[in-house]
Structures are given as structure tokens and as C-alpha cells.
Structure 1
Amino acid sequence: MAAYAAVTSLLQTLDNLSQTHTSHSLLYKKEQTEVLSDKYTFLKTFLDDFTNIFHEDIKMKHLERMIQEAANGVEDTIDSHKEVMKKIKVNKFNNKISHSRDTSSQILLDQKDVIIGLDEDLLRIKDRLIVQSSRLEVVPIIGMGGIGKTTLARRVYDDSLIAYHFYVRAWTNVSQEFDTREIFLDDMWSIEAWQHVRRSFPDDRNGSRIVLTTRLVDVASCACSGNILHQMRFLSMEESWTLLRDKVFGNGSYPPELEKIGRYIGHQCQGLPLAVVAIGVLLSKMSKETSSWENVAEKVGSLMSSDTMDCLNILSLSYNHLPQYLKTCFLYMGVFAETREIPVWKLIKLWISEGFVKKVNHKNIEDVAEENLRELVDRSLVLVGKHTSLGKIKTCKMHDLVRDMCLREAYYENFIHCKTRYDKDDLLENINCLRRIVDFNNYGSSGHSIFIPLARSVFFKHQYNFCSPARSRFRLLRILDVCSVPFFNCSQSITEFIHLRYPACPSFDGLVQSICKLRNLQNLVIHDLSSFASLITTQSLAWEVLNMPQLRHIHTKNISFFIPPPTSLIAERESHLQTLTGLMPSSCNDEVFLRIPNLKKLGILVVDDSDTIGNCYCLDNLVHSTQLEKLKILSKLPNLEVLKLKDHAFHGLIWKLSDEDEDGFFQLKFLLLESLHLKQWEATSYHFPSLEHLVLTDCRYLEQIPFDFAEIQTLQLIELHKCMLSVLISAEQIQEEQQSLGNDDLIIRVNYIRE
């Protein structure tokens, strides 16, 4: 309680400091601002340490929120330099603090509940336990909350063969706040806890075994005797229905008319046993009529986040155990729509723009953000969608239940306000404390024209004018993601967002000069949301944009732009630009690339027959981009039949064609890659559906031809000159696959192969 009293005293000091600045003050003195900055830094550091010690204590959770609110208040004051920090009212905080007991997911899943789909898992674990080895072996079972780790472990523990093989057995649970001397040892929450437990089990060479369940990859990896972690899988559709049916009807018969709707409900649970059981408990208490089950089917998502709160409380255990820097990163994922995978590049840029990611030593801040994401994956809170060609995470997602838990925690902590069609409009009730607003409403304008003084992020998912920036004055705004150009009804309005770091909008035509005045801008995202996928908008990008001091990334979609020569003398500054996509080949000149020497990712978009790569020799100029790591070339030419890429354009690079449906060389018949330092080439038959002739000359580092080329039915000839043996092997595999499909026309010609 000494910590509670000390922090309360600190909050009162900050409160008194805030009151010394009257509401009429326009500027803070330098000394006052420095004091506030020091207090803010101290509060954030203290909060990180504080949450590592206290997780579930109600009073401490209350105090944690007080500290967070105080830190946010000080940060607001520092950013605005003209607004008095809101008075901290210690005794009037929202008392709806999320809490849950330290227990495993056995709350809803007892040993009789989930036996569906575990037979294969059971056999694998048993084989690892009874293997003939006298050494102590540890077998970790890993997976997200509610997936059945404890149930599997209990089945193993109670199995007759295991009971016979191990004449001494013990079952223990480990809570998050364990006591070394009195440790209630099933869900292992930290490496430290494992290390304490491990000391009690010496390797006496008598064939002892330990089965460990955890949601954390690092704990499992630390404990595992070998390199194999037993990863729990989700239930199949059939298994989900079987589990739901058994939970509702037991082993008895069921009305056949309920099977179709029952299967749908089971599918909606997305393979998570805990969700299936939770809904099964609900259905078992309802009438067995089709209309009742249809009503559940319509509301199954919301039911799992309200009527079955124990389900979310179980999942929230993983959230409560996160360090503070990961809590903010996790909660922020709630701004993304439920049905789509999350692009990692965008998630990372948003985290950084919000200030959630702190630079560590000499690491690139984007690398630190990727490590944060990997931690959330390892803690079974985030699922991996797709991988990049280099093995990094390209897209990620959350299970629906985890997302529900995320939004619930975000609401309790006043972290995000999400507005949907069904929400009552309570913006005005909390107007002075809303910092992040997400509007998923797709049913017309909300009609708001309000003053939201503390908003840091706003996301408007559909094309309507939620509110006018000129009138609402989001003076502290850092993130602005809109889908409608009319949002900017005045080019001068955007200049009011002096703290803006991440704007995303369909167009920046007419806003360039205004954007250049935003000195804190780190990212510029231009996305054309036209329903015509093949329609490309062409815009100009002024030299002043490349000259912005903090700008690091320019992302575009369905937008091509050219960079005209500067019309007047511009005082050049050091450019930190790392990402540039949508650039037309005619702008890939020495002058441009010399201006952006730190460029790492470049996307070239060919949209005109007169502006082809071959005509302007744009790739020759890439020799100035010594930091370039990734080059992406997209063609929007409907009639392009011949493409030749030459002369070391791909030095140390990967050529990965986009996954977007509209991207590809659909009419291309002849492709030449000559004297390139290209190492990896990722493409599919979809990208080159009409290709007839492929020539690879002096591509000495290229590892192989994409195997999916075996599905290109028009392919007739592959020529290889001065290529690696692995390239020839891949060509022969393509030829064999084509022959198995009945195409005997493909010929391979080889001049010289490097050993």
C-alpha cells in the first residue's frame, strides 16, 4: 500500500502543477514544459515497472488506470502548449475495471468437455512420453487460451498406459503471481516461473517426464528438451459440430432439423473449443426449436462477448499478463475491421506514429515494432496470416473472441471508441476524454460537427464526411485515416493538424503545399478506393514532399505519380525516405534517386506504352540506391507483350509480384532477365498467363524459376545462359509437371550452367 500512497501523492502534485496554468495561457514557459516532460517520462517508466508487478489486484488495477490517465494528461499538455491539463479526479474514475481470476481455461472446459479432435494429439504426446530414454524430458503443449491444452494434458495424465508406465504422477497449476515457497503449480506464465519449478525436478536418469502447458512460445522453447513444441490446432467444421452437438444433447439423439443451423453456429466459433462449449452451454438451456437456434446464429458473435463473459475473462488472462508496451500495441489492433487480415506494414506504421514503439539501442524502430508483433504472436493473442518472401509476417489477424476481448478491454480503459450501426451515440458523453475514434458505420453520415480536443487517432471506414476538420479542430491529431476526399473541404484545414504523423486518404491533389507544412509527418498513404480495379489515377508529387524532414514512407494503391523538376531553387535537406511506391518509370532518373539515398523499398508502376521500363532505362539509375532491399514492378499495360530487364538492376534484391488480383503482365509473351543480381523471384502463373518465351541470361545469383510457371499453358521455350544448376533443375521440374498435364511442347535450351 506504500506504492499506492506514493503514486497518489505524485498525482496530486501533478494536479497542483496543472492548476498553476490558467485557461487563458497561450504558451507555457520553457521551464514549466520541461518539468511536465520530466514528469511524463517518469510516469510512463513507472507504469511499465508497475504493471510488471501487479496484474490482477483490483485496487492496483484501479491505480494503474489512474497512472495511465495522468500520463496521457501530461502528454496532452506537452503537445498542445496552450491547453490546461485536465484535473485528475482520483475518486471518480470508471470502476468498470476488467479483472479475472488466476486460473486456466478449465473454468468452461472440464475434462469431459473436449475430447473431440484430440485422439491424434494424445497418441503423439504418449509416444514422446514413453520413448526409451533415461534422461528427463519436457514436452510443452502450446496454444491460445481455450483451445484445449489443459484438456489434452489431463487426458494424457489419466490415460491408463501412462498411469501404468509412471507409477508416480503429480498434477500442479502455476498462477501468474506464484510464490516460490508455496507454488500452486497448469498454465505456465513466465520463464521465471518455469525455472523455479524446474529446480524441483532434477534429472536422475530414471526416465522422468514433464508435460507443460503454456500460451507463451518463449516459455515452451525454454522448457522444451528438443526442438519440437506440440502446437494445438483449431477444430475442423465437423469436429466443431460434433462438440457442439455433444454439449447440447449429450450422447442422445437430436432433432435432425437443427443440424444445418447447428453446423453454422459451430463454424462461427472458428474452431476454438472454448467458444463452442460456451455457446453449447447457452443452447442447452434454450428450447430445441429451429427459431431459437436461428436467433442464436444471428447473434452468436455478440453473445460470446456478453452472455458468456467467463469466456472472455479466460482469454483476458493473456492480456492482463502483457507488459505495458505490449498492452497498448494489442489494444490498438481493435481499430481494424473484424473480417479482414491486418497488413503488418500498416499496423507497424500506426504503432510508431502513435508513439507506442520505443527505439532500442541501435535497432531500427521498424524492427523493434516487428519484435513486438512477434511477441503477441508467441503469446497466442495474434494469429499469423501470410508471410513475406523473407519469412517475415505479412498479414496477421485475431480470433473473433480475442478481438471481442480486445475491444472490451479497450472500452474499459477508454482506449478506443468504436462506433457501429447499433451503437447509441455516446460520443458527447465522453467528449473530453476520447483519444481514438473508429467509425465502422456504413449507413450514412453520423452528422457530427463537434469539438474533440484530445483525439489522437480517427478512422472513418466509409465514404462520408463524418465531420469537418476546420470546425472540429482535432488539434492533437496524429493519425487520420479517411475514405472520402470531401473530408478535406479546404486545403488549409489540414495545416491545423500540426502533430499529424500518418494521414491516409484517396488523393492528395491540391493538398501538396499544405501537406509540406506538416513538419511531423512520417507516413503518407494514398489509396484510390475506386470500384474500377483497373483504373489508375495519375498524380504529381512535388519536390517539396521529398524534402520533408521526418517523412519516411510513401505508400500508394491504384495511384501512379511522377515527380516533375522543381520550379524554383529549393534548399535541400537530408532525406530519410525509405519507402516509395507507385513511381512512374519516367521519374526513375538520376536526379530523383540521388535525392533519396536511403530508399529501401521501391515500387515502379508502368501504366503507359510510352513510359515502359525498356524505353527509359530507369533500372540503370538504381545504382544510386545503395540501400535498396526490395524492388516491385507492376504493369498496368493492357497490351504489353515484350519486357526486357537488363544490367544489374536487381542487385541483392527479391522480385516479388503483388498478391493483388489486378496486378500482372496479362498479355506478356516474351520476358528477358539479363545480367541481374536477382536472387529470389516470387510469382505465379496468374501474373504471366500468356507467357510463351522466357530467357534468363547471366543471372548468376538466381536460385530458381517459380515452380508455379508449370501451370502456364502457353509456355513453349525456356532459355538458360550462365545460370546456376538449381535454375536448370527448377526448369526441368516445370517441364516434367507440364508433361504430366499433357503439355509436351515445352522446350529447355541451355548454353552454359554455373556449378
Structure 2
Amino acid sequence: MPGLGKTILARKIYNDPKLSYEFVNILWVYVGTEYKIKDIYLRILKFFTKRIEDHLNDDVDTLAKVISAFISNRGRCLIILDDVWVAEVIDDVKKVFPENKKGHQIVMTTRDRYLATYANTEPHDLKFLNGKESFELLEKRVFSKGGCPDELVNFGKKIAVRCGGVPLNLMVIAGALRGCSTTNDWQIVERNVAQHHYSNYNRDSGVFVEMSYDRLPQEVQTCFLYCGIFPRDFDIPAWKLIRMWIAEGLIKPQQSYTLEEIAEHHLNDLVNRNLVILLQKRSDGQIKTCRLHGMLHEFCRRKAANKWLFQEICTTVDNAVPSIQDSDTCRRLCIQPSTLNDFLSTKPSAEHVRSFYCFSSKQKQTELSRNEIKLLHKAFPLIRVLDVESLKFLFSKDFNQLFHLRYIAISGYIKALHPPLGDFWNLQTLILNTSTSEPTLDVKADIWNMLQLRHLHTNIPAKLPAPATTTGKTSCLQTLSMVAPESCKKNVLAKACLLKKLSIRGQMASFLEPKGGISNLEELKCLEHLKLLNDVLYINKAIHLPPAFFRLVRTVKKLTLVNTRFSWSDANKLAQLEHLEVLKLKENAFIGDSWMPEIGGFSALQMLWIERSDLESWMASSLNFPILRHLVLISCDKLKAVPLGLADIHNFQEMRLDNSKEAVKSAKEIESKKPKFKLTIFPPETDSKDTQ
């Protein structure tokens, strides 16, 4: 991110007198966005000769040779390249060191992780300041050698936290606070931290995010600004953001890639450019949750408003009732739940609006009356995207007329999806969180007639209707999360044959029988993620994985088993899944006290997660898990040791132990044998030397 202190750190290195003992020549070169390699070469050459005019007409190859000759006749050289934006700069500067026998070095600063890892596989990442460090910097910049007055300390700490750990933010705010001596002044600044940042950064686009934004492809620019619809400091689920981008038509089709793959690439691009903060990764390494930094959130809101990308409906300073702008240009509206009742009281009508969002970072849902819900439906008759998960939603007859909807995310006391929903032929994504006490959600709507439906997410198992016919066009469904086992009939899965992600929850005993519903999974030729969650706490008879399990789900890359209580001997059947990369075994997915995998299995497995297991003895080595990278053990308190043979796995990089204290000693032994190995132990041990 801009403002973290990359250039300042590089300057400290550049000005460190100790460097003169290591390097004869120390050069500083600012690159920037509008670079020309000839200009960079001339800046480097200027350090070695004052007769720079003799080389103004030389081409770049000649200049590289001249610089190389100077470097060859001198001692070690350090070149610092500040603010690099393209990989060509790195390659071009390295040309002046054809044979680096003297150990010349290049230091580079960049905002782009792609470039950082291109230059060095392990770049140095600057971290955000914590709350204490932020306040110390703010205090020093405002009061110099004096301390912060006691009556201003609490305001100062709140302001420091709102700067998000970015030193440049703190410097900007410190400038606004100098000369402010009253609590009222500091309170005003605290309320307007984001506005202070934006207005000050706008004076100098060289330090503001505009530079990074301008270098994005136009499609990615729009996707980035769109992130501003979420509230400040909102943890954004990556899968939800990707679904919304697609529903909004922000992702353009490309040959050989699905819309989801293109959108995921855009999100990774934004994270690698440090425009979006990565919060959590999925077990397969992809982004799970992300967030906009406060400074960037303010940029997105303002830039999006200027481009009419979306409008935020807010109460005014005098608490006036919020309203929609007169212009019909803005097609997307977002609003806080606390403002919604006042907004609906105006009985809004806006046919031009295509998207409506109401997000909240609080757990408590906002309740609306049935009449208010009707007003919401009537206000936006042509709406395409509706995300109101923060509300307790009620269906009405007016809702059934919103057949333009492509994306729906709702919550409420919902027992069933009734037939009228089947007329939503444009619907691509349906996310439903119900608070009903019923064990399943009865889907009465003909989802097989909804030919655009790609993703169906429910928080309780859905009971799906049987398709009227298995002939005709197949369903576009890619995600079913989650369904009841009894819904996995042959005709259902044959219709949904393009499924990539399937989550099944319920009583698994009959489903897992050789002639049970699990045999129908062979209809799914594209299945990549499979989750089996057994709801039965006490099982009278042992259940087993069918012998042909590996054949039924041979394409699966990620498998999660929860409370299935298979025998550990059955785990060897999973080893035959030649594409399996992630295996999660949770809440006694397998029972027994020992596991000895067969040699030659799990050839593609990179991540293994074992949680709440009675496992005591586990024998394994590189022969069983040849490319394992990441191991997680949670509440495996009976496991005596992590197999020491795992240390022989070349790719093994990271291990996490939560509440598995018996295995800690062996885990540390593995760590001691592998350089750059990351071991995390929770809870941390009391001895500071052993705390990971």
C-alpha cells in the first residue's frame, strides 16, 4: 500500500554510513510510472562521469555497455530503484551487471507483489503499525518532544486506530492536529479521519492510490471501485464478491475461462497490487476474506460517486431523511440498516435502480414490518441485484414480480422456496439464510427451469424437487451448498452434471451404502469440491466408505468429511483420489487410535487438516504424502507425535497445532530439521523460548 514507508526504509538503508564499508558505489534511482530506460541509464551513468553530454545520443545497448565498463573497473555497487511498476526495469538494470562476481546488489521498492516476487522469491513485506505504535508516531509528530495532554489521550488513541496502521495517514492527521488544543477540535478530527486523508492525498497524486488505480485495466478498475459498496472495515467474503461482480455484468467473458475464474484472477490481481487487503486464505491457498483499507475505501466511495457507479444513501448532517438523487444515472444504491427505516418512510420509487445493498458488520439483524418490505419491493421494480442479508426478509406478492433479479442474498424465517421463485429465469446466484427450526428447507420452486442459476447457497440442507425430465438442456448449477442426502437422486445429479461444488448434510448411513445415493455422484464429471456432513450423533452400526468411492468422485480436488466416523483403515481409499489436493477431516470423520497409510497414495495432496480426532498413533512419511505442504491438527489431544518422516517431504512448509499438546515435541523436532519452516502452536507455551 502507499504510505507504509517503503521509500523511507530504503532511504534509511541508502543513508546508513555502515554501507560504505560494504559498497564503493551507492546509487539512488527514482523510477516511477512514466519511466524510460534510457533516462534511468543516464541517471546511473551520471554517478560515474560528469561528461554525461557525451552519451546523450547513445542508444540503450551502448549505454548499458558503458555503465558495465565503469562498474567492472570499480568495487561493489549498490543500486536502489525506488517505486518500480514494471518488470522490464529490473531486467534492464541487471544488464549492466553481466557477470556479478563482485556481489553487486539491487534494492527495489514497489507496491506490486507480482514484481516483488519476480525480483526476489521472498520479498520483505512492510506491516501495518499496531495501535500502540500508531499512537506513539502520532504523538511524536503532533507534540514533538512534549507528550500528549491527558485530556486528549483517548481521542488521540481513537484517531490513531482509525488511521489503519499506515504511517503516512498518521503524518497527514498529525498535520491537521497541530495547533488544535481543545477536546472539541480533536473530536471533530476523529469523526472526519477518512475525509482528511482523502483531501490531503488528492493534493499530491504521487502519494495517493490514484497511481495504482490508473494502471489497472478498465474492467479491474470497476471491480475495485465496486468494493466500496461494503461498509468501512467490512470483512468481504471473496466468493460473495465474485458472485456479485458477475451478476452486475462487470466480468466480461473470455475464451477458455469461466466467469468465476476471470473474477478470481481480478481479485488476486487487486490483492497482489496491495489495493485490497488479504485477511484469510482458503485451504487451497485462494482468497477467503478480504477488506478495503479505510483510506482506499474512501477513495472507492468518492471515485465511484463521480463515475455514477453507485450511490450511498446517508442521512445528512442535520439528520434529514435520506433520499435518492434526482439523476437517473446511478443504477446502484447502498444503505446502512440504521438508515433504512427513514428511507422507506419516504415511499421511494426508482425504476432506474438495478442494484440495492444493505450490509451491516453487526450480528443483529434489522427487523422491518411487512409493509416496509412491500415498499422495498415496489421501490425497485427493475432490480437485478438484491443483497439484504442484514434484514429479516419477508416474501410478498410484489417480490414475485421482480423477475429481472440475477442475484439474491436474503435472511429470514423461511421454511420453503415456493413455486413463484421458479419464474426467476435470470437468477444466477441465490443465497438464503433461514432462522427456521426445521431441519431442511423445502425447495418447491422448479430450479431446473432456471437455466441461468449457477450457485445455490443455503445454511440448512435443501430438499430439491425432481426434474420434470432429464432430457433437454442441463442445469448451469456449479454450486449446491448444501443439500439433503435424499436429494442426491440419479435424475437430480444427471440434470446438475456441471456441478463443481457439492455439500451434503444429513443422515449418511443409507446414503453411503453401496446402492445408496452416493453411487449417483458418478453423474458429476466436473466435481472439484465435495463435503459430506453426517448429522447423526450416535450411530448403532459402523458405516464405511464404499469400495468404489475413488471411482465415483475421481475428479475431486478438495474433500471435507465431518462426523462420518469411518474407520481409519477406510482412509486408505482416499489415497486413490489422484487429483485430491486438500483433505479436511473434522469432528471424528475417522475413528480409531491408529492410522498407517499405504505407500504410494495421496500423490497430489498438499494440505491435510485433522480436527477433533481420537487418533493416538500415526505412521507416515514422504512415501505417503510426497508433496504435502501444510498440516493442521486441531484438538488431537491424544496424538502422541507427528510422524517425523514428514520432515523428509521437500515441499512441507507449514504446520499448525491447536490444543494438541502431546504432539508439540515432535512438531518442534520437524521444525529443527527444515529451514524456513513455519510452526504455529496454540495456545502458546508459557516458556517464551518455546512460544511459536
Tell me whether the two structures share a fold, i.e. TM-score over 0.5: yes
Which of residues 480, 499, 509 in structure 2 aligns to 1:599?
Answer: 499
Q: Which residue does the alignment assign to 2:108?
A: 212
Identity of counterpart residues, as a percentage? 28
- Give how far 1:256 is off: 5.2
Which of residues 446, 462, 471 in structure 2 aligns to 1:561?
Answer: 462
- Give how far 1:254 is off: 4.2
Which of residues 420, 435, 440 in structure 2 aligns to 1:514?
Answer: 420
- Give how far 1:212 is off: 2.0
- Residue 478 (1) aligns with residue 398 (2): no
Hey, what's the Cα distance between the residues in 2 that align with 1:740 and 1:603? 28
1:300-315 mapped onto 2 (5 Å cutoff): 300-301=193-194, 303-305=196-198, 314-315=208-209
Which deviates more, 616-625 or 674-683? 674-683
Q: Contact conserved, 1:326 with 1:372, CA < 8 A, in 2?
A: yes
Q: Which residue does the alignment assign to 1:392?
A: 286
Hey, what's the Cα distance between the residues in 1 that align with 2:195 and 2:112? 28
Q: Secondary structure at the match of 2:284?
A: coil
Q: Which residue does the alignment assign to 2:430?
A: 524
Q: Which residue does the alignment assign to 1:579?
A: 479
- Give how far 1:394 is off: 1.6
Hey, what's the Cα distance between the residues in 1 that align with 2:472 and 2:609? 46
- Write the deviation string for residues 384-404 of structure 1: whole angstroms up to 9, x where unpaired: 122222211122212121112
1:586-665 mapped onto 2 (5 Å cutoff): 586-606=486-506, 617-637=516-536, 644-647=543-546, 648-649=548-549, 651-652=553-554, 653=556, 665=563
1:120-159 mapped onto 2 (5 Å cutoff): 144-159=1-16
Q: Secondary structure at the match of 2:543?
A: strand
Q: Contact conserved, 1:539 with 1:560, CA < 8 A, in 2?
A: yes
Q: Which residue does the alignment assign to 1:459?
A: 357
Q: Which residue does the alignment assign to 1:449?
A: 347
Which of residues 228, 234, 252 in structure 2 aligns to 1:334?
Answer: 228
Q: Which has the higher helix share?
A: 1
Letter in 2 for 1:158: N
Q: Secondary structure at the match of 1:580?
A: strand
- Write the deviation string for residues 619-669 of structure 1: whole angstroms up to 9, x where unpaired: 2322222221111123445656877340243645356659xxxxx64x979
TM-score, normalising length from structure 2? 0.71
Q: Which residue does the alignment assign to 1:502?
A: 407
Hey, what's the Cα distance between the residues in 2 that align with 1:369 and 1:304? 30
Aligned residues: 578
Q: Secondary structure at the match of 1:735?
A: coil
- Residue 489 (1) aligns with residue 396 (2): yes
- Give how far 1:160 is off: 0.8
- Give how far 1:551 is off: 1.9
Q: Which residue does the alignment assign to 2:132?
A: 238
Hey, what's the Cα distance between the residues in 2 that align with 1:536 and 1:170? 70
Cα distance change of structure 1 residues 736 and 305 upon mapping to structure 2, 3 Å threshold:
same
Hey, what's the Cα distance between the residues in 2 that align with 1:740 and 1:526? 36
Q: Secondary structure at the match of 1:480?
A: strand
Q: Contact conserved, 1:519 with 1:550, CA < 8 A, in 2?
A: yes
Which deviates more, 321-330 or 614-623? 614-623
Q: Which residue does the alignment assign to 1:92?
A: none
Q: Which residue does the alignment assign to 1:404?
A: 298
Q: Which residue does the alignment assign to 2:34?
A: 177
Letter in 2 for 1:589: K
Cα distance change of structure 1 residues 641 and 689 upon mapping to structure 2, 3 Å threshold:
farther
Hey, what's the Cα distance between the residues in 2 that align with 1:578 and 1:471? 31
Cα distance change of structure 1 residues 636 and 404 upon mapping to structure 2, 3 Å threshold:
farther
Q: Which residue does the alignment assign to 1:186?
A: 82
Hey, what's the Cα distance between the residues in 2 that align with 1:198 and 1:622? 54
- Residue 736 (1) aligns with residue 641 (2): yes
Cα distance change of structure 1 residues 688 and 536 upon mapping to structure 2, 3 Å threshold:
farther
Q: Secondary structure at the match of 1:633?
A: strand
Hey, what's the Cα distance between the residues in 1 that align with 2:380 and 2:484? 36
Hey, what's the Cα distance between the residues in 2 that align with 1:641 and 1:148? 62
- Give how far 1:481 is off: 1.5
Q: Contact conserved, 2:596 with 2:620, CA < 8 A, in 1?
A: yes
Which deviates more, 230-239 or 348-357? 230-239
Q: Contact conserved, 2:142 with 2:178, CA < 8 A, in 1?
A: yes
Letter in 2 for 1:554: L
Q: Which residue does the alignment assign to 2:375?
A: 468
- Write the deviation string for residues 516-549 of structure 1: whole angstroms up to 9, x where unpaired: 3333322222222x3x8xx456222347312432
Hey, what's the Cα distance between the residues in 1 that align with 2:505 and 2:269? 35
Hey, what's the Cα distance between the residues in 1 that align with 2:542 and 2:354? 46
Q: Which sections of structure 2, spanning at least 5 residues, go unmatched?
A: 44-80, 360-365, 643-656, 665-692
Hey, what's the Cα distance between the residues in 1 that align with 2:641 and 2:621? 22
Cα RMSD (Å): 4.3
Hey, what's the Cα distance between the residues in 1 that align with 2:340 and 2:445? 38
- Give how far 1:228 is off: 2.9
Cα distance change of structure 1 residues 359 and 199 upon mapping to structure 2, 3 Å threshold:
farther
Hey, what's the Cα distance between the residues in 2 that align with 1:456 and 1:263? 41
Q: Contact conserved, 1:601 with 1:631, CA < 8 A, in 2?
A: yes
Letter in 2 for 1:523: T
Q: Secondary structure at the match of 1:243?
A: helix
- Give how far 1:603 is off: 0.6
Q: Which residue does the alignment assign to 1:348?
A: 242
Cα distance change of structure 1 residues 564 and 221 upon mapping to structure 2, 3 Å threshold:
closer
Q: Which sections of structure 1, spanning at least 5 residues, go unmatched?
A: 1-143, 659-663, 745-755
Q: Contact conserved, 1:241 with 1:262, CA < 8 A, in 2?
A: yes
Q: Which residue does the alignment assign to 2:442?
A: 540
Q: Contact conserved, 1:458 with 1:479, CA < 8 A, in 2?
A: yes
- Residue 362 (1) aligns with residue 263 (2): no
- Residue 437 (1) aligns with residue 336 (2): no
Hey, what's the Cα distance between the residues in 2 that align with 1:346 and 1:523? 9
